[in-house]
Amino acid sequence: MDDLRDKYMRLIAGAADEAALEELRVQAVGKKGEISLKMRELGKMSPDERKEAGPRLNALKDEINGALAARKAALGDAALEERLRAEWLDVTLPARQRPAGTIHPVSQVTEEVTAIFADMGFAVAEGPQVETDWHNFDALNIPGHHPARAEMDTFYMARAEGDDRPPHVLRTHTSPVQIRSMLAHGAPLRVIAPGRVYRADYDQTHTPMFHQVEGLAIDTDITMANLKWCLEEFCRAFFEVDHVDLRFRASHFPFTEPSAEVDIRCSWEGGTLKLGEGDDWLEILGSGMVHPKVLAAGDIDPTAWQGFAFGMGIDRIAMLKYGIPDLRAFFDSDLRWLRHYGFGALDMPAIHAGLSR
Ligand code: DAH
């Protein structure tokens, strides 16, 4: 019996899985198992022998059953342990990996500009990039013979042969959206219009497609003072500085009267641009009071309403804010450049959260 006990204890302790245990159970205490056969032999024994062997055999059977159960439980624990180890998951890790793509600086800056002007009550307006020459020029007080038409290096769309209506143009500025917004909504009006514009020009500071944002505010009592305040507020918020100095320089645009170009005070000390201090000035936009003829073209009565407008280069202010030296790189789609200058895809600019973080 001691041999049987030793043999089965050893085998049970070494059983690798439940199937092996079951086999051992059958082999030891199953109907035709070794212990069961021994129990049958009890019948051939003398009563004295039986009295001695019976309880010992029963005890051995119980012991083996106990060992089988204990081993089974241990195997189960080990299997659970292994599963827990293999399926371990750190639920505090971010659910998404940082996206491989980035937001282009032009998109980022467009969102920043939009957030700032939205905070001042400006809605976003849009117009087509393929524009009529009336919206792009005539309605903005740029008649056919006006030098500004030639200066804009306009791309003209082809017309079918025999169609001699004036050709459409790729809009040379976002100003035609002023006209479309006035015609669509009337006065009072407060909109910005960011978007693509086109001119046949290409060098380090010019690309044939670039981005502008137009601003237009019309009411009964809008003045240059409102224009100045809005632009100062915009620059402080956009460049994320406490103080900016703007210089309004008298200028000329056909669609505004009076007109001003706006420069921002800066320094180039040590080769890096600092805004808000120094003795240099950087031109950032054109602006003025909307010309009465432009209001009239937009079906707004110039004797009852007046307003300001401005136009700003988005790529240009992006270069200034983020220290990007060459405009052409904006449109090269070079992945290394995009990774370097791009912005996190899940961080939308918002005034309360800090625009660019
Ligand atoms: N449209 C002008 C340009 O493309 C910029 C501009 C100047 C827009 C003065 C305006 C403005 O609205 O008032 O150069």
> What tokens does 70 get?
């204990």
Of all protein residues, the one whose alpha carbon is nearest to atom 6 of ligand 1 is: 311
Nearest atom, ligand 1, residue 173 CA: 4
* The residue type at 114: T
Contacts of 276 (CB under 8 A, 6+ apart): 239, 241, 242, 243, 244, 245, 264, 265, 266
- pLDDT for residue 148: 76
- Low-confidence stretches of the chain (pLDDT beneath 50): none
Cβ distance 272 to 240 under 8 Å? no
- pLDDT for residue 165: 87
Of all protein residues, the one whose alpha carbon is nearest to atom 12 of ligand 1 is: 310
User: Ligand 1 centre and the CA of 42: distance in Å?
Assistant: 113
> What tokens does 51 get?
């009295």
Q: Which of 348, 285, 273 is nearest to 311 (CA)?
A: 285
- pLDDT for residue 186: 97
Crossing angle for the helix pair 224-239 and 314-322, nearest 10 degrees?
40
User: Ligand 1 centre and the CA of 175: distance in Å?
Assistant: 6
Nearest atom, ligand 1, residue 216 CA: 12
Give the C-alpha distances (Å, rounded to integers) separating 174 from 8, 129, 131, 153, 310.
91, 9, 10, 15, 10
Nearest atom, ligand 1, residue 172 CA: 4
User: Ligand 1 centre and the CA of 199: distance in Å?
Assistant: 14
- pLDDT for residue 353: 67
Kindly report the number of other CB atoms within 10 A of residue 304's CB atom.
Answer: 9
Nearest atom, ligand 1, residue 308 CA: 13
Write the pLDDT tens digit of every residue in 204-261. 788 999 999 999 999 999 999 999 999 999 999 999 988 889 999 999 999 999 999 9
User: Ligand 1 centre and the CA of 273: distance in Å?
Assistant: 25
Mutational pocket test of ligand 1: of 146, 211, 310, the residue with most ligand atoms within 8 Å of the beta carbon: 310
SS3 16: coil
- pLDDT for residue 318: 94
- pLDDT for residue 345: 80
CA 241 – CA 244 distance, rounded (Å): 7
The enclosing H or E element of 179 equals helix 176-185
CA 317 – CA 324 distance, rounded (Å): 10
Q: Which of 324, 238, 323, 241 is nearest to 285 (CA)?
A: 238
Q: Kindly report the backbone phi and psi dihedral angles of residue 233, in degrees, each rounded to the nearest multiple of 5, phi listed first.
A: -60, -45
Ligand 1 shell residues, CB under 6 Å: 173, 175, 214, 253, 255-256, 286-288, 309-311
The full set of domain ranges for the chain reads 2-86, 105-341
Mutational pocket test of ligand 1: of 255, 293, 294, the residue with most ligand atoms within 8 Å of the beta carbon: 255
SS3 56: helix
> What tokens does 82 get?
């292994």
- pLDDT for residue 289: 98
Give residue for tokens 């804009």.
152
Chain center to CA of 35: 73
The enclosing H or E element of 218 equals strand 209-219
- pLDDT for residue 68: 92
User: Ligand 1 centre and the CA of 213: distance in Å?
Assistant: 9
Mutational pocket test of ligand 1: of 137, 172, 175, the residue with most ligand atoms within 8 Å of the beta carbon: 175
Of all protein residues, the one whose alpha carbon is nearest to atom 4 of ligand 1 is: 173
Nearest atom, ligand 1, residue 256 CA: 13
> What tokens does 287 get?
């602006």
Of all protein residues, the one whose alpha carbon is nearest to atom 7 of ligand 1 is: 286
Q: Which of 234, 232, 263, 265 is nearest to 250 (CA)?
A: 263
Topology of 105-341 in CATH? Answer: BirA Bifunctional Protein; domain 2 (3.30.930)
Of all protein residues, the one whose alpha carbon is nearest to atom 5 of ligand 1 is: 311
167: DSSP letter: P
Nearest atom, ligand 1, residue 311 CA: 8
Cβ distance 158 to 131 under 8 Å? no
CA 267 – CA 276 distance, rounded (Å): 8
